[in-house]
Amino acid sequence: MSQIEETNLINTHEAQQFDVVVIGGGMVGAACALGLHKVGYKVLVIERHPPTRLWFSASDYSPRVSALTRASENILRNLGAWQGIQDRRLHPFVAMRIWEANADEEVVFEAQSVREANLGYVVENNLIQSAIWDEMVKAEVAVMTGCELSSLEYDDTLYKSKIVLQSGQTVFADLVIGADGAFSQVRQMAGIGLDQHDYAQCAVVGCVRTEGSHQDTCWQRYREEGPFAFLAMEQNVSSIAWYLPIQKMQWAMGLSDEAYRDEIFKASEGRLGRIVETWERAAFPLTRRHAQHYIQSGLVLVGDAAHTVHPQAGQGVNLGLLDAASLVEVLTQAKEWRERPGDFSVLRRYERWRRGDNLVVQRAMEGFDWLFEPDRGVKDQIRGKLLSFGNIVKPAKNWLIKQALNGREPLPKLAKIQHVSLFK
Ligand SMILES: Cc1cc2nc3c(=O)[nH]c(=O)nc-3n(C[C@H](O)[C@H](O)[C@H](O)COP(=O)(O)OP(=O)(O)OC[C@H]3O[C@@H](n4cnc5c(N)ncnc54)[C@H](O)[C@@H]3O)c2cc1C
């Protein structure tokens, strides 16, 4: 378990000044805080939950996992957090197989076809967060945990934000980073609107042990009710993502262990054999959200606070980490050019960089959703053709693999260069 040492905790009732205050110490917020601290900003992280929720046990599996791309791996390596993940648990996957229920066609993406060792890693979210927090602790980034926001105001004569907590503590910052997730209070307090679409679907997630091996492969089957996926975790252990109409969420969460195992077997067409063991499950209603703006003077949104996407292609935190790396790069340059980090013109560079990319991914997920929703007509034919086309036209498939693995240009430096620390 990560130990947040006393030195990192701010416990004073005197108002404090920081260059940057990050609200929300999840994977994305913590990555921003660590990166900005490393380039010389005075940073404070305010996190609602105490860090006891972080990864704690190798004999248990947390229900929430992410499939990390090479770009995310590079970012975490450059931040110094990759070793902490490797030391605990991560699993590379070398292939991805996608097929449609009751159809013969299957598309297979393989790492070796693009001369890569793998197509990414499956890692538990709280483990990623723990590894970054450990680095924050070592670097002595200031943190406040277990606290709630009371108000947030920007003073455009002082160029500073005033953050008041429910405890009465006050903090001043040149820049506030809203990294407080999909239901961002920072976004609401800043009055930033949201475009959203309810998928009327939920995802049930959790780890399972299967009779057969996952073969270091992620498996995704498209069914009438929504996709079903196995993400390779450890020997014969996979994380599942079982998509269902939202009306079935309570039913799925209320299933006995035995009935749950049977339903997973059916949803996966028994591809990995019987389900022999299950761990804690969780369910999430799915909504696409996009903040109408990512920035205001003195304030910026990152990660799920700015955008959420359908998780079927496992892009959410990968996009968030690209937000973090891009913001660190923009603010590093601002420091060199002696600009204020909260200036609208500085933050606009970040917004221009990231908003379009996030929008493209959201739209692509929408396209997938449209294509794979139940239909007995033309969509069935398009799907069949696409799946067989995907297997035949190798250059197109390899291009897709590289885009998904490495991210789209222009990439931030932290996402590009592996094994080289950019913070020297
Ligand atoms: C079913 C499912 C499967 C997914 N699979 C993948 C995948 O395979 N790959 C992938 O890339 N993404 C995936 N995602 C998306 C991914 O989980 C999210 O994009 C990611 O968790 C977002 O990280 P974040 O740090 O922005 O936000 P969060 O993880 O939500 O963290 C926000 C943090 O802010 C804190 N906080 C909240 N409010 C406040 C407040 N007012 N004050 C202080 N602190 C606050 C919270 O405690 C939390 O620590 C999946 C999502 C779902 C639902």
Distance CA(387)–CA(95), nearest Å, equals 16
Class of domain 6-196+288-415: alpha beta
What pLDDT is stored for residue 20 in this prediction?
98
Per the omega criterion (within 30 degrees of 0), is the bond before 410 cis?
yes
At 279-330, the pLDDT tens digits run 999 999 999 999 999 999 999 999 999 999 999 888 999 999 999 999 999 9
Instruction: Read off the amino acid at residue 295.
Output: I
Q: Which of the listed residues 22, 34, 48 should we mutate to test ligand 1's pocket, taking the one with most ligand atoms within 8 A of CB? A: 48
Whether the predicted pLDDT of 392 surpasses 60:
yes
Distance CA(151)–CA(161), nearest Å, equals 10
At 128-165, the pLDDT tens digits run 999 999 999 999 999 999 889 999 999 999 999 999 99
Ligand 1: atom nearest CA of 28 is 25
Instruction: Read off the amino acid at residue 95.
Output: A
Q: Which of the listed residues 68, 79, 304, 308 should we mutate to test ligand 1's pocket, taking the one with most ligand atoms within 8 A of CB? A: 304
What pLDDT is stored for residue 14 in this prediction?
66
Least confident of 18-22, 125-129, 290-294: 125-129
What pLDDT is stored for residue 12 in this prediction?
53
What pLDDT is stored for residue 6 in this prediction?
44
Ligand 1: atom nearest CA of 284 is 53
| Residue 198 vs residues 162, 285, 289, 302: alpha-carbon distances, Å | 34, 8, 9, 21
CA of 39 from ligand 1 middle (Å) equals: 25
Distance CA(174)–CA(177), nearest Å, equals 10
Ligand 1: atom nearest CA of 318 is 11
Instruction: Read off the amino acid at residue 164.
Output: V
Ligand 1: atom nearest CA of 179 is 26
Q: Using CA atoms of 397, 403, 404, 407 in order, give the dihedral in degrees to the nearest 10.
A: 170
What pLDDT is stored for residue 53 in this prediction?
54
Question: By three-state DSSP, how is residue 398 classified?
Answer: helix
Mean confidence (pLDDT) of the chain:
90
Axis-axis angle for helices 316-336, 70-79 (nearest 10) = 50
- Ligand 1 pocket list (CB less than 6 A): 23-29, 46-49, 66-67, 125, 149, 179-181, 185, 203, 205, 241, 284, 303-304, 311, 314-318, 320
CA of 114 from ligand 1 middle (Å) equals: 30
Domain boundaries defined on the chain: 6-196+288-415
Q: Which residues lie across from 230 on neighbouring strands?
A: 219, 240
Asked if residues 152 and 162 have their Cβ atoms less than 8 Å apart, the reply is yes
CA of 321 from ligand 1 middle (Å) equals: 11
CA of 130 from ligand 1 middle (Å) equals: 14
Instruction: Read off the amino acid at residue 168.
Output: G
At 53-112, the pLDDT tens digits run 566 677 789 999 999 999 999 999 999 999 999 999 999 999 999 988 777 778 899 999
CA of 286 from ligand 1 middle (Å) equals: 13
Distance CA(198)–CA(200), nearest Å, equals 5
Asked if residues 237 and 253 have their Cβ atoms less than 8 Å apart, the reply is no
CA of 49 from ligand 1 middle (Å) equals: 13
* Half-sphere exposure (Cβ direction) of 392: Cα atoms closer than 13 Å: 7
Q: What percent of the chain has pLDDT over 70?
A: 88
Whether the predicted pLDDT of 5 surpasses 60:
no
- Span 219-240, average pLDDT: 94
What pLDDT is stored for residue 162 in this prediction?
96
Whether the predicted pLDDT of 4 surpasses 60:
no
